[in-house]
Amino acid sequence: MAFDEDNAQRIRTFLQHKEADFFEKKMFGGLVFMVDNKLCCGTRLDKQIGENLLLCRIDDKAYETAIERDDILPMPNAERPMKNYIFVTESGWQKSKDLAFWLELCLTFNPIAKASKKK
């Protein structure tokens, strides 16, 4: 589980400022932030490309727009990318305004996102 603590703190601060009901969980090789018991966003250090990535769970329309950008990577799954999940490369979220943009998209989608099935 590799992630940059400074970047995790930036996400924490944003979510606290928004008064989001969240907790943290280590998964996907990094740290994710669960809002209202649903995966909302996260961060991890991708060792293959050597960059800190921001994991975002966003709605269909935002996904279709985002995936066209050079600073976006689809979240891989066995055969195809996972629907509604993207990774933003460092260049796309290091500025505070860019981080806020992505996290706002995540928080906007969160109320309508489906929760994982309980095991």
For residue 71, tell me if it sits in a domain. yes
Distance CA 16, CA 113 (A): 20
Quickly state the pLDDT bin for 119 (edges 50, 70, 90): low
CATH number at residue 82: 3.90.1150.30
For residue 119, tell me if it sits in a domain. no
For residue 118, tell me if it sits in a domain. no
Cβ 29 vs Cβ 40: under 8 Å: no
Cβ 46 vs Cβ 89: under 8 Å: no
For residue 117, tell me if it sits in a domain. no
Quickly state the pLDDT bin for 78 (edges 50, 70, 90): low
Instruction: Give the angle subtended at the CA of 6 by the CAs of 112 and 106, to the nearest 5°.
Output: 10
Distance CA 109, CA 38 (A): 11
3-state helix, strand and coil shares in percent for the chain, rounded to the nearest 5: 35, 30, 35
Quickly state the pLDDT bin for 1 (edges 50, 70, 90): low
Q: What is the DSSP letter of 83?
A: T
For residue 76, tell me if it sits in a domain. yes
User: Is it the case that residue 60 has pLDDT exceeding 90?
Assistant: yes
12-51: pLDDT as tens digits: 999 999 999 999 999 988 999 999 999 999 999 999 889 9
Quickly state the pLDDT bin for 80 (edges 50, 70, 90): confident
Q: Give the mean pLDDT of 64-86.
A: 88
Number of structural domains the chain divides into: 1
Instruction: Give me the pLDDT at residue 118, please.
Output: 66
Domain containing residue 76: 5-112
Q: Phi, psi at residue 57, to the nearest 5°?
A: -110, 115
Mean residue pLDDT of the chain comes to 93
pTM for the structure as a whole: 0.92
For residue 13, tell me if it sits in a domain. yes
Instruction: Give me the pLDDT at residue 75, please.
Output: 87
Instruction: Give me the pLDDT at residue 83, please.
Output: 87
Residue (of 75, 51, 47, 63) closest to 102 by Cα position: 63
For residue 14, tell me if it sits in a domain. yes
